[in-house]
Structure 1
Amino acid sequence: MNERSKLAQGQAGVMLLEALIAILIFSLGILSLVALQATAIQLTGDAKYRTDATLLANRLIGQMWVSDGNLDAFATGGAAYDAWLADVSGPEGLPGVVAASDGVASTLPTVTVDAAGVVVVTLFWRTPEMAADAAGHRHIIVSQIVRNP
């Protein structure tokens, strides 16, 4: 055997090994992209719920500004609050908005109004992936509504 054939025998299969390593690296890259895409989809859904919570709270505050000045009707338990609650817990509202029951914490929104006209709107929701007993998400908006005499 000459020197050249010994070298060729020592190199046999190296190209196959290099191809397998390249396929492995490529596969890991594709799997990473799939995981990144799944995370991006979940974060987009979470952002949608936060945006919806902000819009619902701002709509209530807007109704308070154009009301006749009776802000107590918008506080938790008031007539205007009950109408707004139907929007929050309806099909176009936030997911997982429920009253408290056995083992399930309440996710009903709360609205408080103090004597100085400071309004605190707190919205709670659970995404469809969350367990019924999970604490859920919370969004708080504070505003002051004062009318000139």
Structure 2
Amino acid sequence: MLEALVGLIIFAVGILGLIGLQMASIKQASEAEYRSVAALQANDLISRMWVSDRTAATLQLQFASPDGAGYIAWKDEWAGALPNTATHAPTVSFTTVDGGGATPVSSSQVEVKVFWKSPGEKADDPAHSYTTVAQLK
């Protein structure tokens, strides 16, 4: 009888371990999905910049956060794609990079940061982020 009880306890501990492993797997899959959506979101904005007028002044006027018209349109289109982005708005910043060579043409380096907070995380937990940098000429 004691051997059967010990066997049941070992079996129960194993089942609880499998359930914990399954929960961790689901959480990691959700986080991977959020990272993929953040990367897609950032690349979408950079793609919009590539097809626009790529002069430094126009890029900054249209796409710089928080009030560029292109930035606002992009942000509104992606609203709700990631959890808890209302309090963690994406940021877009530009830096002018001097060109080199015989006919130097400066370019713009853009940094896009997308933030989100997973459901169930504490309010004081830091937001997750995805950052991408591109150079537009």
Q: Is the 8 A contact 1:130 1:136 kept in 2?
A: no
1:41 maps to what in 2? 26
2:116 maps to what in 1? 125
Counterpart check, 1:113 vs 2:94: yes
Normalised to the residue count of structure 1, the TM-score between the two structures is 0.77
Name structure 2 gaps, 5 residues minimum.
98-107
Normalised to the residue count of structure 2, the TM-score between the two structures is 0.83
The structure 1 segments of at least 4 consecutive aligned residues displaced by more than 4 Å after TM superposition are none
1:75 maps to what in 2? 64
Instruction: Give 1 or 2 for the bigger CA radius of gyration.
Output: 1
RMSD: 1.3
1:4 maps to what in 2? none
Deviation at 1:134, TM superposition (A): 3.2
The count of aligned residue pairs is 122
Counterpart check, 1:85 vs 2:75: yes
What per-residue deviation string (whole Å, max 9, x for no partner) do you get for residues 62-113 of structure 1? 111111223111111210000011123x23x1110124xxxxxxx1110011
Q: Secondary structure at the match of 1:38?
A: helix
Larger RCO (CA under 8 A, 6+ residues apart)? 2
Q: Report the Cα distance in structure 2 between the residues aligned to 1:87 and 1:127, rounded to whole angstroms.
A: 20
Q: Is the 8 A contact 1:123 1:140 kept in 2?
A: yes
Q: Secondary structure at the match of 2:33?
A: helix
Q: Report the Cα distance in structure 1 between the residues aligned to 2:89 and 2:70, rounded to whole angstroms.
A: 15
